């Protein structure tokens, strides 16, 4: 059979993928799978049984017809009919029930396998280096979870049902055909192997086609998510036409690539359909001679025809199975690619937990470049005492956010070291390092959950989930309590996707409350107050004073007040500290800081 020969040509890599899928995901569900196989066997057997039934019915009917005028022929016919009808209906019922059970079981195996693969993928992504999010557009990543998963589900289902049910049906049917009239069966079945060659050549083309289509789906997903998250810009800057053109081109590409795929896919079915027709015509043509010559009965011929008709769709399904498997393997490859991502930022083997952190922080000759080669920090050294507030200022692109990223170990330094309380952060556990820091940034992340939950995330991982009281205290100190009480359901109000139902300033105060709740000794504020209006800033400022007391704080801020009261100001330019001192000393010095200040107030 075409599919078989081609399946044997799986590359070593494909075999490994399938092996892993079986071992890790299908094997645990084997009892359900074997039960599905059992009902597939019954289904195949009942299909083949039709051949026998038809032969028997026709032969008896012919005999009765031959008996013609015999006195009890009518009586016999009636008895025959009352016997045949229940048998046919019975076989159909068994076949129908088996069809249902095998379908539900096979689907449940496939869906569970897919669900578990998605869980593995998702788990792996959040363990992987943070840098991976910069490497692949979000939409492409999402399409691995949606598009690739759909393709794989389809492939899994088809493989399970086609490989077992259809192969069995074909084998059973052919066996019965050989029993009915082996010479004629061999003659007519010989047409099918002819299809092997064109099917193999078509499926080679399909592999390329489906890869193009899957990549294109990733692109569209990316563009859609960009376009929808940027809806405000699109409307106000009148970018609708631009977006229509941009997405329109992608949709057109999708049509073009899919048409190519579908055209090639559509070639397989007709080839097999025509060959099926040739086989049926062969049975008719040869059948007459066989019956007249006394080599076969009309029942044999009718049985053969029934079986050929039952076979045809099964053989067609097997003919296209290879395409589905190829698509599925490509999807599986993309799925395992995510599951296999090995983080480079992990706990060292002898990592110890940071405990009772005082908050002394030290950069020792630190250099760092992003993956694209952008040198963000160069030979940077400084020391910060516990409880000090450090303001990072300087032109954009100077490296301020990078310093914060490095302290939280979102990236590892390329050279030098960062120490907290004298310990290299690469030698402490990631969990304890992250537990010792709280980040509040200008891009505030709120999840579509209640206000209370969004504040509670500050302490989700610390074995002591925040109580409603803790949450309220944190909200009060972040000047958020009053506005929260004015929301429809108070702390139980849902904030909408990405906090869409709240104003920028409200979101920011919730983020500050979250950081308060976290109670981490090192605070990283990346323009944390940028979205506040003057009134709420005044409120938050006093809240910040509470929050920062006794903690080591790195703050990136353009607002004068926050910077002015800092213990030290580092002025960063091109990844280096070009000036440092207090506000007063830097103003007096009249360097870059004084110049930036003057610019701000000019
Ligand atoms: P600042 O916070 O002072 O504006 P950053 O620390 O964000 O500066 O950036 C320092 C340099 O690193 C800039 O040249 C910036 O373009 C580059 N950079 C920042 N983030 C990335 C990234 N994810 N990938 C590549 N380059 C980056």
User: Is 155 within the bounds of a domain?
Assistant: yes
User: Is 59 within the bounds of a domain?
Assistant: yes
User: Is 161 within the bounds of a domain?
Assistant: yes
266 lines ligand 1 (CB under 6 A): no
One domain, residues 42 and 175 = yes
Name 7's Cβ contacts closer than 8 Å, sequence gap at least 6: 322, 325
376 lines ligand 1 (CB under 6 A): yes
Q: What pLDDT, on a 0 to 100 scale, did the predictor assign at position 33?
A: 94
Q: What pLDDT, on a 0 to 100 scale, did the predictor assign at position 108?
A: 95
Q: What pLDDT, on a 0 to 100 scale, did the predictor assign at position 463?
A: 58
Ligand 1 atom at minimal distance to the Cα of residue 396: 4
One domain, residues 16 and 143 = yes
In the numeric block, which tokens belong to residue 186?
């061999």
- Averaged pLDDT, 418-432: 94
Probe ligand 1: pick from 391, 399, 443, 578, max atoms within 8 Å of CB? 399
User: What does pLDDT average to over the chain?
Assistant: 87
Q: How far, in Å, is the centroid of ligand 1 from the Cα of 231?
A: 26
Q: What pLDDT, on a 0 to 100 scale, did the predictor assign at position 7?
A: 43
Strand 576-581 relative to strand 568-573, pairing: antiparallel
pLDDT tens, 468-483?
888 888 888 888 898 8
Three-class secondary structure of residue 470 per DSSP: helix
Q: How far, in Å, is the centroid of ligand 1 from the Cα of 402?
A: 6
Percentage of the chain surpassing pLDDT 90?
39
- 151 close to 214: Cβ distance less than 8 angstroms: yes
Residue scoring higher pLDDT (217 or 80): 217
- Name the band, by pLDDT with cuts 50, 70 and 90, for residue 65: confident
Alpha helices in 293-372 (DSSP H): 298-339
- 380 close to 363: Cβ distance less than 8 angstroms: yes
Backbone angles phi, psi at 597, to 5 degrees: -60, -50
Q: What pLDDT, on a 0 to 100 scale, did the predictor assign at position 531?
A: 64
- Averaged pLDDT, 285-297: 88
Ligand 1 atom at minimal distance to the Cα of residue 392: 3
Q: What pLDDT, on a 0 to 100 scale, did the predictor assign at position 462?
A: 59
Angle between helices 298-339 and 196-229 (to 10 degrees): 40
Backbone angles phi, psi at 409, to 5 degrees: 55, 40
User: Is 507 within the bounds of a domain?
Assistant: yes
- Count of C-beta atoms within a 10 Å radius of residue 387: 16
Angle between helices 196-229 and 240-266 (to 10 degrees): 170
pLDDT tens, 101-123?
999 999 999 999 999 999 999 99
Taking the CA atoms of the chain, what radius of gyration do you get in angstroms? 36
- Name the band, by pLDDT with cuts 50, 70 and 90, for residue 9: low
Among 519, 536, 552, the domain boundary falls at 519
pLDDT tens, 306-320?
998 888 888 888 888
4, pLDDT greater than 60:
no
- 273 close to 264: Cβ distance less than 8 angstroms: no
One domain, residues 83 and 229 = yes
- 519 close to 437: Cβ distance less than 8 angstroms: no
Residue scoring higher pLDDT (11 or 185): 185
Q: What pLDDT, on a 0 to 100 scale, did the predictor assign at position 68?
A: 63
Among 323, 339, 355, the domain boundary falls at 339
Q: What pLDDT, on a 0 to 100 scale, did the predictor assign at position 602?
A: 64
- 297 close to 62: Cβ distance less than 8 angstroms: yes
- Name the band, by pLDDT with cuts 50, 70 and 90, for residue 1: very low
User: Is 349 within the bounds of a domain?
Assistant: no
The position carrying tokens 């597939």 is 40
Q: How far, in Å, is the centroid of ligand 1 from the Cα of 367?
A: 13
Q: How far, in Å, is the centroid of ligand 1 from the Cα of 362?
A: 21
One domain, residues 146 and 292 = yes
- Name the band, by pLDDT with cuts 50, 70 and 90, for residue 71: low
- Averaged pLDDT, 355-368: 93
pLDDT tens, 115-162?
999 999 999 998 899 998 888 888 888 888 998 999 999 999 999 888
CA dist 422 → 305, 352, 389, 410, 426 (Å): 85, 13, 18, 20, 12
Q: What pLDDT, on a 0 to 100 scale, did the predictor assign at position 426?
A: 95
Q: What pLDDT, on a 0 to 100 scale, did the predictor assign at position 60?
A: 86
Q: Which of 501, 499, 480, 500 is nearest to 491 (CA)?
A: 480
CATH number at residue 480: 3.40.50.300
Q: What pLDDT, on a 0 to 100 scale, did the predictor assign at position 2?
A: 37
Ligand 1 atom at minimal distance to the Cα of residue 131: 23
- 579 close to 589: Cβ distance less than 8 angstroms: yes
Q: How far, in Å, is the centroid of ligand 1 from the Cα of 11?
A: 42
8, pLDDT greater than 60:
no
Positive or negative, the Cα torsion across 110, 115, 117, 118?
A: positive
Percentage of the chain surpassing pLDDT 70?
95
Which of 38-42, 96-100, 101-105, 549-553 is least confident?
A: 549-553
In the numeric block, which tokens belong to residue 484?
């929260």
In angstroms, rounded to a whole number, what is the distance separating the alpha carbons of residues 595 and 590?
Answer: 7
Alpha helices in 373-428 (DSSP H): 400-407
Among 339, 368, 393, the domain boundary falls at 339
Q: Which of 141, 111, 150 is nearest to 25 (CA)?
A: 111
- Averaged pLDDT, 35-40: 95
Positive or negative, the Cα torsion across 319, 323, 324, 326?
A: positive
397 lines ligand 1 (CB under 6 A): yes
6, pLDDT greater than 70:
no
Q: What pLDDT, on a 0 to 100 scale, did the predictor assign at position 66?
A: 72
Name 208's Cβ contacts closer than 8 Å, sequence gap at least 6: none
Strand 576-581 relative to strand 389-393, pairing: unpaired
Q: Which of 546, 511, 503 is nearest to 528 (CA)?
A: 511
One domain, residues 335 and 451 = no
Alpha helices in 463-568 (DSSP H): 468-477, 481-486, 504-518, 534-548, 560-564
402 lines ligand 1 (CB under 6 A): yes
Q: How far, in Å, is the centroid of ligand 1 from the Cα of 80?
A: 87
Task: Select, from the ranges 52-66, 194-208, 241-255, the one with the highest average predicted confidence (pLDDT).
Answer: 241-255
Nearest residue by C-alpha to atom 13 in ligand 1: 397
User: Is 422 within the bounds of a domain?
Assistant: no
In the numeric block, which tokens belong to residue 117?
């693969």
Where b means 16+ CB within 10 Å and e means fewer, 149-187 reads bebbbebbbbbbbbbbbbbbbbebbbebbeebbeebbee
pLDDT tens, 528-570?
776 667 776 777 777 777 778 889 999 997 766 678 888 999 9
Question: Containing domain of residue 500, as a range?
Answer: 447-519
Positive or negative, the Cα torsion across 507, 508, 511, 512?
A: negative
Number of domains in the chain: 2
Q: What pLDDT, on a 0 to 100 scale, did the predictor assign at position 10?
A: 66
- Transcribe 508-522 into DSSP letters: HHHHHHHHHHHT-SE
Residue 499, phi-psi category: left (phi > 0), alpha (psi -120 to 50), beta (remainder) = left
- Count of C-beta atoms within a 10 Å radius of residue 350: 6
User: Is 246 within the bounds of a domain?
Assistant: yes
Probe ligand 1: pick from 130, 135, 137, 401, max atoms within 8 Å of CB? 401
What global pTM score does this model have? 0.80
User: Is 360 within the bounds of a domain?
Assistant: no
Name 336's Cβ contacts closer than 8 Å, sequence gap at least 6: 17, 20
Nearest residue by C-alpha to atom 25 in ligand 1: 370
Q: How far, in Å, is the centroid of ligand 1 from the Cα of 238?
A: 29
One domain, residues 146 and 278 = yes
Q: What pLDDT, on a 0 to 100 scale, did the predictor assign at position 461?
A: 66
400 lines ligand 1 (CB under 6 A): yes
51 lines ligand 1 (CB under 6 A): no
């Amino acid at each position: 059979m075409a599919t078989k020969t081609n399946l044997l040509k799986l590359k070593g890599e494909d075999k490994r993928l399938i092996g892993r899928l079986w071992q890790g995901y299908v094997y645990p569900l084997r009892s359900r799978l074997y039960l599905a196989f059992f009902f597939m066997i019954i289904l195949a057997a009942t299909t083949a049984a039709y051949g026998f039934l038809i032969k028997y019915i026709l032969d008896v009917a012919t005999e009765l017809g031959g008996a013609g005028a015999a006195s009890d022929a009518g009586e016999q016919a009636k008895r025959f009919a009352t016997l045949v009808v229940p048998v046919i209906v019975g076989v159909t019922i068994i076949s129908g029930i088996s069809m249902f059970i095998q379908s539900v079981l096979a689907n449940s195996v496939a869906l569970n396998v897919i669900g578990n693969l998605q869980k593995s993928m998702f788990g792996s992504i959040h363990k992987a280096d943070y840098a991976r999010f910069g490497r692949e557009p979000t939409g492409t990543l999402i399409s691995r979870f949606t598009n690739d998963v759909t393709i794989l589900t389809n492939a899994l289902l088809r493989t399970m049902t086609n490989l077992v049910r259809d192969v069995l049906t074909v084998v059973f049917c052919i066996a019965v055909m050989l029993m009915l009239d082996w010479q004629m069966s061999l003659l007519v079945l010989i047409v099918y192997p002819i299809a092997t060659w064109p099917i193999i050549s078509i499926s080679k083309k399909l592999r390329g086609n489906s890869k193009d289509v899957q990549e294109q789906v990733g692109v569209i997903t990316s563009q859609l998510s960009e376009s929808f998250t940027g809806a405000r810009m699109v409307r106000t800057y009148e970018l609708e036409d631009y977006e229509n053109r941009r997405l329109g081109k992608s949709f057109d590409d999708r049509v073009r690539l899919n048409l190519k795929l579908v055209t090639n896919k559509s070639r397989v079915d007709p080839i097999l359909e025509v060959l099926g027709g040739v086989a049926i015509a062969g049975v008719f043509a040869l059948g007459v001679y066989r019956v007249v010559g006394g080599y076969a009965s009309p029942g044999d011929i009718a049985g053969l025809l029934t079986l050929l008709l039952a076979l045809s769709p099964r053989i067609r399904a097997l003919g296209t199975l290879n395409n589905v498997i190829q698509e599925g393997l490509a999807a599986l490859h993309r799925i395992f690619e995510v599951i296999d991502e090995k983080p480079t930022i992990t706990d060292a083997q002898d990592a110890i937990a940071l405990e009772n952190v005082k908050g002394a922080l030290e950069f020792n000759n630190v250099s760092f470049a992003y993956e694209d080669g952008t040198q963000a920090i160069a030979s940077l050294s400084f020391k910060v005492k516990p409880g000090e507030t450090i303001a990072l200022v300087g032109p954009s692109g100077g490296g301020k956010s990078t310093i914060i990223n490095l302290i939280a170990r979102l990236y590892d330094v390329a050279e030098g070291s960062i120490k907290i309380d004298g310990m290299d952060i690469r030698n402490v556990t990631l969990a304890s390092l992250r537990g010792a820091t709280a980040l509040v940034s200008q891009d505030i992340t709120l999840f579509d959950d209640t206000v209370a939950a969004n504040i509670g995330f500050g302490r989700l991982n610390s074995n002591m989930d925040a109580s409603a009281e803790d949450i309220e205290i944190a909200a009060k100190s972040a000047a958020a309590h009053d506005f929260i009480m004015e929301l429809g359901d108070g702390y139980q109000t849902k904030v909408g996707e990405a906090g869409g139902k709240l104003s920028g300033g409200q979101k920011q105060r919730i983020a500050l409350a979250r950081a308060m709740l976290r109670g981490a000794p090192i605070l990283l504020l990346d323009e944390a107050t940028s979205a506040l209006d003057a009134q709420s800033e005044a409120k938050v400022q006093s809240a910040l004073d509470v929050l920062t007391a006794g903690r080591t704080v790195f703050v990136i801020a353009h607002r004068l007040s926050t910077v002015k009261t800092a213990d030290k100001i580092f002025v960063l330019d091109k990844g280096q500290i070009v000036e440092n001192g207090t506000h007063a000393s830097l103003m007096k010095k009249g360097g870059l800081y004084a110049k930036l200040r003057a610019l701000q107030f000019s």
